[in-house]
């Protein structure tokens, strides 16, 4: 066996691992091309910027959801952390540049803290992630409501403009997501804790037996989820110049984040996938809505189409049933 052959096969494995993300990226590219072609002005930088800003919010929350899901868990509170940090940012990210920077740090710290609390409850409280994050989501919503009983607030205008504008045709929100992937996700993915997260998600028992630091891996995963959600909350504040605590808003983002990560090829059972796929999954979800507008389809049909796309994406996974040789493999 030559070295070249081994490297070649290695490459093929890597490609196979990214199949879900690549499929989501392809679907998004096609959908967005159709969207662009149907625009009267074509894909002007304004059109791209608006689409990017809308998609980036869900993309960040979906990234947040992905990390705990990789460990075989779930975080039902990402939408509420997103909303809590939005409300917090509308209070503290104002005033002089120094105050603004301190405020941004405070918002990110709040997100980290929320995620850490989730992680502590899951790891040391040994509660089911579903139940633990369900409970904390109620608490985070309560805190968000305490911060912003009525929608309102303000944000530093320069900062908001920086986050939402488009420079040489490249939207800042896309830069933000790329930065989050390159600066946070990729180092994490290649670190011991990142690998441990995948190991725990594949088989917690085997990971435990192999001496993988399970507790730290899970803690880190939930904390990272809090951070990603906080970045999303910050971006939402920049887009709306205000904060709003509305239960339906947080709930929608949580549920859509699960949908986005499934479209992006991450397994809900943990152990395979990644945030890049989730980003494209999120953009696919958002572009469905835009396409409806372009084709003059009644906007009230939007939830129906989003649901059908989601069911279709899940059903694609059922194609594997055709390859099953032993019927027993169908069952857990």
Partner 1 sequence: MLRSLPKIDVATLIAFGCIVLLLLLGGVAKPGFLSVDYLGQQLQVAAFLGVIATGEMIVILMGQIDLSIPWTIGIGGMMATGASGILGTALGVPLAVPFGILCGALIGVVNGWGVAYLRAPSMIFTLGMNAVAQGLMVYHTGGFAPQDRATSLMIELASGQWIPGFSNPLLVWIALGALTVYILTRTVFGRQIYAIGNRERAVFLSGVDSRRVTLIAFAFSGACAAAGGVLLAGWANRSYQAMGDPYLLPTIAAIVLGGTNVLGGRGTYLGTVAGVILITLLQSILSVLQPQDYFASMGIKLPADVFRQVVFGLVIIVMMMLYGREKAMR
By CB under 8 A, name the binding residues for partner 1. Answer: 74, 121, 125-128, 130-132, 134-139, 141-143, 145-146, 149, 204-205, 208, 214, 247-248, 251, 255, 258-259, 262, 268-269, 298, 300-308, 310-311, 314-315, 317-318, 321, 327-328, 330-332
Closer CB to partner 1, residue 2 or residue 326?
326
Q: CA 293 to CA 272: how far, in whole Å?
A: 34
Q: How far is CA 116 from CA 44, 67, 68, 72, 237, in A?
A: 41, 13, 12, 17, 23
Closer CB to partner 1, residue 37 or residue 206?
206
The residues near 34 (Cβ < 8 Å, ≥ 6 apart) are 291, 294
Residues facing residue 243 across a β-bridge: 152
**Shortest Å, Cβ 135 to partner 1:** 4
**Shortest Å, Cβ 132 to partner 1:** 7
- Sign of the torsion angle spanned by Cα atoms 118, 119, 125, 131: positive
Closer CB to partner 1, residue 90 or residue 137?
137
Does residue 126 come out as left (phi exceeding 0), alpha (psi in the -120 to 50 range) or beta?
A: left
Closer CB to partner 1, residue 190 or residue 205?
205
Closer CB to partner 1, residue 134 or residue 170?
134
Which stretch of DSSP H or E encloses residue 167?
strand 166-167
Q: CA 216 to CA 170: how far, in whole Å?
A: 37
The residues near 148 (Cβ < 8 Å, ≥ 6 apart) are 87, 90, 91, 243, 244, 245
Helices (H), 71-128: 78-92, 97-123
- Integer-rounded Cα Rg, in Å, for the chain is 20
Closer CB to partner 1, residue 11 or residue 312?
312
**Shortest Å, Cβ 152 to partner 1:** 14
**Shortest Å, Cβ 146 to partner 1:** 5
Closer CB to partner 1, residue 36 or residue 251?
251
Q: What is the full DSSP assignment across 37-79?
A: HHSTT-S-HHHHHHHHHHHHHHHHHHHHHHHHHHTT---TTHH
Closer CB to partner 1, residue 52 or residue 200?
200
**Shortest Å, Cβ 281 to partner 1:** 12
**Shortest Å, Cβ 298 to partner 1:** 8
**Shortest Å, Cβ 148 to partner 1:** 10
Longest CA–CA separation in the chain, Å = 68
**Shortest Å, Cβ 293 to partner 1:** 15
């Amino acid at each position: 066996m030559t070295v070249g052959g081994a490297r070649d096969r290695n490459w093929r494995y890597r490609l196979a691992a990214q199949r879900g993300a690549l499929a989501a990226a392809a679907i998004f590219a096609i959908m967005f091309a159709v969207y662009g072609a149907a625009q009267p002005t074509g894909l002007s930088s304004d059109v791209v910027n608006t689409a990017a800003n809308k998609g980036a919010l869900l993309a960040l929350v979906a990234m947040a959801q992905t990390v705990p899901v990789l460990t075989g868990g779930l975080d039902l509170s990402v939408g509420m952390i997103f909303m809590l940090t939005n409300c917090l940012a509308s209070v503290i990210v104002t005033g002089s540049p120094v105050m603004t920077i301190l405020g941004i740090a405070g918002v990110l710290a709040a997100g980290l803290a929320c995620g850490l609390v989730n992680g502590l409850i899951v790891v040391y409280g040994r509660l089911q992630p579903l139940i633990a994050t369900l409970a904390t989501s109620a608490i985070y919503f309560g805190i968000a409501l305490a911060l912003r009983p009525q929608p309102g607030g303000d944000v530093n205008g320069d900062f908001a403009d920086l986050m939402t504008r488009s420079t040489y045709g490249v939207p800042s929100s896309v830069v933000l997501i790329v930065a989050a992937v390159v600066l946070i996700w990729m180092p994490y993915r290649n670190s011991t804790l990142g690998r441990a997260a995948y190991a725990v998600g594949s088989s917690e028992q085997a990971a435990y037996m192999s001496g993988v630091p399970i507790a730290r891996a899970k803690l880190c995963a939930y904390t990272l989820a809090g951070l990603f959600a906080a970045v999303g909350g910050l971006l939402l504040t920049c887009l709306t110049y205000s904060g709003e605590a509305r239960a339906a808003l947080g709930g929608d983002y949580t549920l859509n984040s699960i949908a986005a990560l499934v479209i992006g090829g991450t397994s809900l059972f943990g152990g395979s996938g990644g945030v890049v796929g989730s980003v494209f999954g999120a953009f696919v979800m958002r572009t469905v809505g835009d396409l409806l507008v372009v084709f003059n389809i009644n906007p009230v049909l939007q939830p129906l189409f989003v649901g059908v796309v989601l069911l279709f994406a899940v059903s694609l996974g059922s194609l594997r049933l055709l390859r099953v040789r032993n019927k027993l493999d169908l069952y857990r």
